[in-house]
């Protein structure tokens, strides 16, 4: 097995295979990593309801197995739950993987002992929006939903009676429903930065829907997959060229969709920028959630944005925000967490991205894609010729 | 390290935002965002976010010495005689509150929720005063009138009001400080509310009832709602104030001021406080401390360490709020149940009730019966009858002071916590008039004493010094003061 | 610090408030030389000494604007002359970030400037300050200036 190899795989366990999103390969791999001692802990989502799950850090393979399946209405980033020094594995959408890498650069994650099992991601939805959309657009009772799926550009909900209800994502998003805004313009669909990238794109023929496409990106990727094969937990077969081509094609198509969303949401502000920002932030209640939840920020309690800022400041904007805008310019990955938790419903991700994009373009630096040092960390002496 | 994850609600105010608490083996905890919570979509205000920093576990004590919980419970049994007074403002579950009510009843007493407005206003209004409207109704209102500052007092209302505005509502704020989300910030004489606000059945009025609220003001607002047909919602500063009020015998209750007066005149010798810190809740801290000092027995049953526990004769420390089993009813009347299973408080009180079997189950069915439901579903608000009430003759007392220190309230205020609220606010004219200089704190003097404190320039009413933190020199929610450099 | 309560009473030409951060070893010396050489310079600048231009934290600059500065200048030793090897390279990078930030925020580009001034360049110091002052006079008072602060 070599870096760059592509396979289609599935769990040998019948139960995991049926409950898994596309054959349960990821679940089987994570559980086997625990069972065979490759890792001490695994981060997964513990399902509490159809639209509710909470991240857990567990050493119990049964909890990992129970977590099989993709939750599209759980827009949570898992990297915040990693603890330095534990050998750990996590399933990772591109935003999970990228923030894990950013945390590694800041010494919060030991990249050598962290196995990033990447999941392709076409986007997540906020559960409150999902429920509203079900009621008003699908005309379905959210409590009747037993499964969800994205297929051929349609968002499909399955109800208890076994019926499937599909609506085109484009149409939903036209009306303000569907994926979170940040996911609509998230241009990274395949987690090339993860140790291994898993997804259902490119699985064709008899295996469609029953197998997971995997691409090996690193030595750790080889280790975690071989570990699972040795344990008898998964079976794989080489991916065929047609499948690879289809996967690449869909990825390209999705990137175009993201670029269109970019135009739609992030075209330059008309009129006074300052008025726009002062106005957008005028409802901030200084809860600090946007900082606490940010998965690329490594500051704890005594951070510059909080220590130098106070509610008693008589300023036109809060220093807290201005400092964060600068600090996130090189590292914001547009994961949407800040917008999700803002109690004043301020479109924070949107704002952070507006500040971050010009500088990330200028320095040709894309955070979280690899271990490259961010430009703000200082100057490379050799590069400067000293 | 292992974690226990609790699905719970924030104990900061009567919005009762859904959240997770992740508790480690060593008892420390973090909060996490519960995005599928119907009340708040996972969003929390500063109080909720900073709960780990501000919520300290209580310790059982007898006469100042740390003891085991069981010993504190024994001491409690010996200390409660007839003639004890009971207070529970609503910082605990309905079940625990009900247990205390049973105990009080066995001593021929009632449990006071401390909301004086209830006993001062006729019973037909209680349902309207107690249970508000669904938060969704704010989003679909045509007119929203605020008699509170949502940013400071009930932060998770902000997004609801903003959503209402987006849907076309106009927002009018009547208060001490201009709020930026209002289309119109006004000071209106209560006599002119009806004509100036011009409300109708598509309007929502948002106000507050707290232990210091003047009942006459509540009556004015009830009259306004009745005359216009507008919906009205009274927010409460305590997470389960609504649930506790629903269960309570409101007409027999005393206000906190009355209780303090009766301690002072010697008719109350023993006071039992269930998660109710009078030192923190009442504006005149020194007066409360003095009165409490006169008691033979101050008994505190509490889930968190707070000022009153430090001066109590007996402290019965129960599990933190997020671990409690039982029901909480928020300002909308929505019932929620967390995943906690703790019953320390109920068990402690149960000892004095002769340890009835299945006490929790019994209390829980009584709570469900009060709510008229078979089981709690956080997504379905129980149906409450809101009887018609008559127009009342109301004469709210106008505060006639030249310069007044005014408490705005808010979760940090009611919990006696200094966080990022250690400053006062006043307008630019006040600075000029009192020769204040930038960077130099202001000196604020009352009859009782003075503080030197940071200030911030805000769009506050003339003559008002607004505070969200309890200051030691106040005599009420409004205190006459002078300001200087 | 400005008096929050003071109000503008004169009809004289508006004088901007400029905060200037100078590194200890070069630019601060430059300010000294300018004074000793009696080079003409406008009274618009408040100088804050930092040990090195590399010590410049974006917090300082943002805070200056929020406090009511109409413009912020920061300066250090010429490239290659930094007394801490490469502090001014770091300053250059931060400056790029801050420029991008200030632009997106909608503050005029003219309000922020980085320049190198050595200890002996008294005349140049005066020139930089004069030019910057003229530049700020053209764009007028900062829109971030808090109410009541002149
Ligand atoms: C939100 C989302 C969107 C996706 N979109 C695409 C797509 O567009 N194209 C594509 O090819 N593949 C997509 N995938 C990946 C695909 O759905 C499968 O996860 C992947 O094929 C692996 O399947 P499996 O059966 O091996 O995984 P499983 O065995 O089912 O294991 C899934 C693992 O993912 C974790 N998980 C579930 N939901 C989340 C979440 N929201 N965030 C983080 N971890 C989660 C679970 O805890 C579990 O450990 C998406 C996955 C998710 C979670
Ligand atoms: S930000 Fe990108 S990777 Fe993260 S959930 Fe959205 S689409 Fe997926
Ligand atoms: S600033 Fe917001 S969008 Fe950017 S990484 Fe942080 S949480 Fe994600
Ligand atoms: S999450 Fe929203 S309200 Fe809270 S500090 Fe951030 S911007 Fe302000
Ligand atoms: S204090 Fe009130 S508004 Fe704030 S998080 Fe707690 S319940 Fe929600
Ligand atoms: S010492 Fe002058 S720039 Fe570093």
Is residue C83 domain-resident? Answer: yes
Task: Look at chain C and report how many structural domains it folds into.
Answer: 1
Is residue C9 domain-resident? Answer: no
Instruction: Give the strand pairing for B464-467 and C45-50.
Output: unpaired
Distance CA B301, CA B273 (A): 6
Is residue C66 domain-resident? Answer: yes
Bridge partners of B57, per DSSP, are B304
Q: Which chains touch B (3 or more CB pairs under 8 A)?
A: A, C
3-state secondary structure A1-40: CCCCCEEEEEECCHHHHHHCCCCCHHHHHHHHHHHCCCCC
The pLDDT tens digits of the residues spanning A186-231 come to 999 999 999 999 999 999 999 998 999 999 999 999 999 999 999 9
Q: How close is the Cα of B238 to the center of ligand 2, in Å?
A: 38
Q: What does the block give as tokens for A324?
A: 């964060």
Identify the domain containing residue C58 by its residue range.
18-139
Distance CA A46, CA A53 (A): 5
Distance CA B133, CA B137 (A): 6
Is residue C3 domain-resident? Answer: no
- CA torsion, ordered B152, B154, B157, B159, to nearest 10 deg: 40
- CATH topology for A269-378 is Fumarate Reductase Iron-sulfur Protein; Chain B, domain 2 (1.10.1060)
pTM above 0.90, yes or no: yes
CATH number, position C80: 3.40.50.960
| Residue carrying the six token digits 């898993």 | A198
Q: Are the C-beta atoms of B302 and B316 separated by less than 8 Å?
A: yes
In order of start, what are the domains of chain B with their CATH numbers? 1-397 (no CATH), 404-484 (2.40.40.20)
Listing from the earlier edge strand, what are the strands of the sheet with B65-66?
B65-66, B61-62, B314-317, B297-302, B270-274, B85-87, B111-112
Is residue C12 domain-resident? Answer: no
Q: What does the block give as tokens for B294?
A: 């006169």
Helices C87-105 and A348-362: crossing angle in degrees, nearest 10, is 130
Q: Mutation test of the interface with chain A: which of C98, C106, C145, choosing the one with the most A Cβ atoms within 10 A? A: C106
CATH number of A127-178: 3.10.450
Q: Are the C-beta atoms of A367 and A330 separated by less than 8 Å?
A: yes
Number of helices (H), then strands (E), in chain C? 4, 4
Alpha-carbon torsion A356, A361, A364, A367, what sign? positive
Atom of ligand 2 nearest to the CA of A336: 1
* Location of each CATH 1.10.1060 domain in chain A: 269-378
Total count of residues recorded for chain B? 485
Is residue C145 domain-resident? Answer: no
What is the pLDDT averaged over residues C43-63?
95
B435 shares contact with chain C (CB less than 8 Å): yes
Residue C82 pLDDT > 50 = yes
The pLDDT tens digits of the residues spanning B281-332 come to 999 999 999 999 999 999 999 999 999 999 999 999 999 999 999 999 999 9
pLDDT of residue C7: 45
Quick check: CB of A186 below 6 Å from ligand 2? yes
Which residues form the pocket of ligand 3, taking CB atoms under 6 Å from any ligand atom? A 293-294, 296, 328, 332-338, 348-349, 352
What is the helix (H) or strand (E) element at residue B342, kind and residue range?
none
Is residue C13 domain-resident? Answer: no
- CA torsion, ordered A303, A309, A311, A314, to nearest 10 deg: -170
Per-residue pLDDT 10s for chain B (485 aa) are 689 999 999 999 999 999 999 999 999 999 999 999 999 999 999 999 999 999 999 999 999 999 999 999 999 999 988 789 999 999 999 999 999 999 999 999 999 999 999 999 999 999 999 999 999 999 999 999 999 999 999 999 999 999 999 999 999 999 999 999 999 999 999 999 999 999 999 999 999 999 999 999 999 999 999 999 999 999 999 999 999 999 887 778 899 999 999 999 999 999 999 999 999 999 999 999 999 999 999 999 999 999 999 999 999 999 999 999 999 999 999 999 999 999 999 999 999 999 899 999 999 999 999 999 999 999 999 999 999 999 999 988 776 778 999 999 999 999 999 999 999 999 999 999 999 988 899 999 999 999 999 999 999 999 999 999 999 999 999 999 999 98
pLDDT of residue A378: 55
Q: What does the block give as tokens for B45?
A: 């205000």
Q: How close is the Cα of B456 to the center of ligand 6, in Å?
A: 37
Is residue C58 domain-resident? Answer: yes
- C145 → chain A, closest CA residue: A316
From B305, B311, B250, B303, select the one nearest B120 (Cα to Cα): B250
- C7 → chain B, closest CA residue: B432
Q: How close is the Cα of A2 to the center of ligand 6, in Å?
A: 50
* Location of each CATH 3.10.450 domain in chain A: 127-178
The CA angle A70-A73-A77, to the nearest 5 degrees, is 80
From B3, B8, B2, select the one nearest B341 (Cα to Cα): B8
Quick check: CB of C53 below 6 Å from ligand 6? yes
Per-residue pLDDT 10s for chain A (386 aa) are 999 999 999 999 999 999 999 999 999 999 999 999 999 999 999 999 999 999 999 999 999 999 999 999 999 999 999 989 899 999 999 999 999 999 999 999 999 999 999 999 999 999 999 999 999 999 999 999 998 888 888 999 999 999 999 999 999 999 999 999 999 999 999 999 999 999 999 999 999 989 999 999 999 999 999 999 999 999 999 999 999 999 999 999 999 999 999 999 999 999 999 999 999 999 999 999 999 999 999 998 889 999 999 999 999 999 999 999 999 999 999 999 999 999 999 999 999 999 999 999 999 999 999 998 888 765 554 454 43
ipTM: 0.95
């Amino acid at each position: 097995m070599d870096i760059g190899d592509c396979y289609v795989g599935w769990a040998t366990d019948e139960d995991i295979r049926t409950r898994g999103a596309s054959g349960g390969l990821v679940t089987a791999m994570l559980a086997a990593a625990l069972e065979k001692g490759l890792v001490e802990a695994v981060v997964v989502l513990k399902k509490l309801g159809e639209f509710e799950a909470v991240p857990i850090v567990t050493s119990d393979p049964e909890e990992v197995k129970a977590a099989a399946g993709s939750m599209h209405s759980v827009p949570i980033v898992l990297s915040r739950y990693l603890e330095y020094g534990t050998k750990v594995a996590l399933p990772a959408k591109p935003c999970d993987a990228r923030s894990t890498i950013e945390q590694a650069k800041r010494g919060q994650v030991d990249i050598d002992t962290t196995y990033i099992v990447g999941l392709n991601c076409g986007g997540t939805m906020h559960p409150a929006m999902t429920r509203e959309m079900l009621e008003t657009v699908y005309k379905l009772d959210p409590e009747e939903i037993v499964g969800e799926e994205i297929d051929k550009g349609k968002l499909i909900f399955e109800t208890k009676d076994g019926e499937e209800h599909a609506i085109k994502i484009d149409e939903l998003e036209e009306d303000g429903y569907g994926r979170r805004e940040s996911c609509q313009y998230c241009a990274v669909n395949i987690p090339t930065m993860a140790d291994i990238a898993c997804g259902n794109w490119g699985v064709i023929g008899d295996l469609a829907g029953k197998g997971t496409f995997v691409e090996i990106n690193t030595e750790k990727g080889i280790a975690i997959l071989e570990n699972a094969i040795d344990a008898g937990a998964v079976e794989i077969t080489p991916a065929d060229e047609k499948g690879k081509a289809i996967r690449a094609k869909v990825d390209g198509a999705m990137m175009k969709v993201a670029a269109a969303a970019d135009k739609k949401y992030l075209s330059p502000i008309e009129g006074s920028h300052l008025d726009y920002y002062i106005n957008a932030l005028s409802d901030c209640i200084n809860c600090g959630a946007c900082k606490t939840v940010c998965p690329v920020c490594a500051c704890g309690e005594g951070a510059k944005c909080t220590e130098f800022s106070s509610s008693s400041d008589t300023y036109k904007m809060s220093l807290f925000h201005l400092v964060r805008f600068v600090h996130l310019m090189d590292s914001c990955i547009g994961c949407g967490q800040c917008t999700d938790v803002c109690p004043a419903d301020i479109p924070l991700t949107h704002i952070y991205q507006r500040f971050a994009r010009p500088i990330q373009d200028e320095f040709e630096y894309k955070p979280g894609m690899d271990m490259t040092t961010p430009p703000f960390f200082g100057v490379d002496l050799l590069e400067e010729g000293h | 390290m292992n974690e226990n994850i609790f699905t719970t609600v924030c104990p900061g105010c009567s919005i009762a935002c859904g959240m997770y608490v992740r508790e480690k083996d060593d008892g420390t905890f973090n909060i996490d965002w519960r995005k599928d919570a119907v009340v708040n979509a996972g969003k929390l205000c500063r109080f909720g976010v900073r709960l780990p920093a501000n919520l300290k576990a209580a310790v059982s004590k007898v006469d100042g010495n740390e003891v085991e919980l069981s010993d504190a419970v024994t001491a409690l049994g010996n200390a409660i005689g007839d003639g004890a007074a009971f207070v529970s403002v609503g910082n605990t579950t309905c079940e625990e509150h009900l247990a205390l009510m049973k105990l009080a009843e066995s001593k021929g007493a009632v449990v006071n929720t401390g909301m004086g407005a209830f006993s001062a206003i006729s019973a037909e209004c209680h349902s309207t005063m107690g249970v508000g409207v669904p938060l969704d109704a704010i989003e679909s209102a045509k007119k929203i009138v605020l008699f509170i500052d949502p940013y400071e007092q009930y932060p998770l209302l902000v997004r609801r009001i903003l959503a209402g505005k987006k849907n076309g509502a106009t927002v009018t704020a009547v208060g001490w400080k201009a709020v930026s989300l209002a289309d119109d910030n006004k000071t209106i004489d209560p006599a002119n509310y009806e004509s100036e606000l011009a409300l109708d059945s598509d309007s929502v009025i948002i106000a507050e009832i707290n232990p210091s609220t003047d009942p006459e003001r509540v009556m004015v607002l009830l009259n306004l709602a009745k005359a216009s047909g507008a919906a009205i919602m009274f927010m409460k500063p305590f997470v389960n104030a609504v649930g506790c009020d629903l269960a309570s015998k409101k007409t027999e209750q005393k206000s906190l001021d009355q209780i303090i007066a009766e301690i002072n005149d010697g008719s109350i010798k023993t006071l039992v406080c269930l998660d109710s810190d009078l030192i923190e809740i009442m504006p005149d801290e020194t007066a409360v401390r003095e009165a409490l000092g006169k008691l033979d027995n101050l008994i505190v049953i509490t889930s968190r360490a707070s000022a009153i526990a430090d001066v109590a004769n007996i402290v019965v420390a129960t599990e933190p709020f997020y671990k409690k089993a039982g029901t909480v009813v928020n300002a909308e009347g929505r019932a929620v149940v967390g995943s906690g299973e703790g019953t320390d408080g109920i068990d402690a009180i149960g000892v004095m009730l002769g340890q009835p079997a299945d006490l929790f189950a019994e209390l829980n069915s009584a709570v469900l019966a009060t709510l008229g439901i078979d089981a709690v579903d956080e997504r379905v608000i129980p149906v409450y009858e809101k009887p018609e009430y008559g127009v009342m003759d109301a004469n709210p007392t106008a505060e006639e002071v030249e310069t007044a220190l005014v408490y705005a309230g808010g979760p940090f205020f009611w919990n006696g916590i200094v966080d990022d609220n250690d400053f006062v606010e006043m307008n630019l004219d006040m600075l000029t008039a009192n020769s204040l200089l930038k960077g130099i704190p202001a000196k604020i003097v009352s009859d009782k004493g003075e503080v030197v404190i940071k200030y911030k320039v805000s769009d506050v009413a003339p003559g008002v010094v607004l505070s969200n933190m309890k200051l030691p020199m106040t005599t009420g929610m409004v205190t006459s003061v002078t300001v200087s450099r | 610090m400005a008096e929050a309560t003071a109000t503008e009473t004169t009809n004289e030409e508006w004088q901007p408030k400029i905060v200037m951060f100078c590194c200890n070893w070069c630019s601060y010396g430059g300010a000294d030389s300018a004074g000793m050489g009696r080079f003409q310079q406008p009274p618009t600048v408040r100088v804050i000494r930092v040990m090195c231009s590399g010590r410049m934290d974006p917090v300082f600059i943002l805070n200056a604007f929020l406090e009511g500065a109409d413009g912020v200048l920061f300066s250090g030793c010429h490239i290659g002359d930094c007394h801490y090897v490469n502090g001014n390279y770091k300053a250059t990078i931060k400056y790029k970030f801050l420029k991008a930030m200030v632009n997106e925020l909608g503050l005029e580009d003219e309000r922020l400037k980085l320049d190198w001034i050595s200890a002996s360049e008294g005349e140049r110091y005066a020139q930089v300050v004069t030019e910057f002052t003229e530049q700020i006079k053209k764009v007028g008072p900062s829109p971030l200036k808090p109410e009541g602060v002149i």
